Chain A
Amino acid sequence: MSDTRSALARIRGRGPAREGVRHWWVQRMTALLLIPLVVWFVIGLVIHTGADHAAVSDWLSQPVTYGLMLVLLGAAFWHGALGLQVVIEDYIAGEWRKLALVLLSKLACLGLFVAAYVALTIIAFAG
């Protein structure tokens, strides 16, 4: 049997994800970004424990809060989509089922981010 491909070319794309290092890298970069943002958000939530609609709207309408919430939710749902993908690839057998679930989970994360973006924009600009 003759195979002119290199050892690297033969082994590439054989893992359950069919890809390389980019997924791993983006997962770490979003994780780093989320560390300060999560701390900031939890402090904000704790301060507004039991607050009424006016107080929470005021907080979410501030330009800094609006911007940081968008970055936080964008990074969180991106990080979450990558994490869900790894779990699905590890535990779901069958190529089509795996592919369908990965796509569905990514669509769900995208949908949730868009919903959050619309809601935050309404609160900040139309509230």
Chain B
Amino acid sequence: MPLLSVQNLRVELKTRDGIFPVIDDVSFTLDEGENLAIVGESGCGKSMTALALMGLVPHPVGRVAAGQILFADEDLAQANETRMRSLRGNEISMIFQEPMTSLNPVYTVGEQIAEVLRRHQGLGDKAAWAQAVDLLDAVGIPNARTRAEAYPHQMSGGQRQRVMIAIALACRPKILIADEPTTALDVTVQAQIFDLLHELREQTGTAMILITHDMGVVAEMAERMIVMYAGRRVEDGPVADVIATPRHPYTRGLISCVPHLTETLTDERPQLTEIPGIVPSLKTFGQDNCLFAERCAHASDQCQSGRPQDVMMGTQRVACWHAETIA
């Protein structure tokens, strides 16, 4: 049985022009200890999916309109706020994109870790502080004992992200959601953070949902991936298969956008490709057609008139009318 099972999730946003689904009929599962990546351009509903799992869809603009989020037989979409509060940071944790602004500037980092421990584990002041220092040490902050008394502005971006990871993993959650955890960091620091996440996940057995638009990161970190477009799941499957043989034209586009290094810098390189156009506006979300059609080279009348059904192709599930013909 999967640890987390999201079924037909639909999240609606209320705008001046009406109500539109930012997440439209998305289903996926997450097994214990598994590493799942959610991929897509900005505005595809990746982050909103994460917020929905945490019960943090911005109120009252957004709401979970339909679907289930089953976590250990409990539907989180129906759970009340008190219950969600006891899960957040305890069973399900989240790391955010911007380590520079994700820590509270007026408290020491040690205090911010200790607070989570006091809240969820009922530890006393001393025990929580001692464990906070241990956690800082575990995430690779040197001189953890003195650095625990530092304020966030006295730390570098990479160190702050390490602190965020320490906070997120303090209560040994079952699920860690990482929303573009390294986008704001230097490339060298990115690699360190991913090494750290790898290592900590091996120790704690935490399952991870990695939200990213970086295919390199996906290939490095995840076992399974979901590609999202305009609030819908367009393709999912094992990372190796999807990257080797992307079935959906959008996935294909995403993968061909990644520049490849050549052995010598002077070698002729293929021109970088891009997917023409942009993600459609929220107003078109929820329409009964293929929302990618207007950017797709393979689009036909069928794409404009009907919503593509999921097709299984080997290990991959694809939502495209032409999946078989263009493969």
A and B interact physically: no
Residues of B within 8 A of A (CB): none
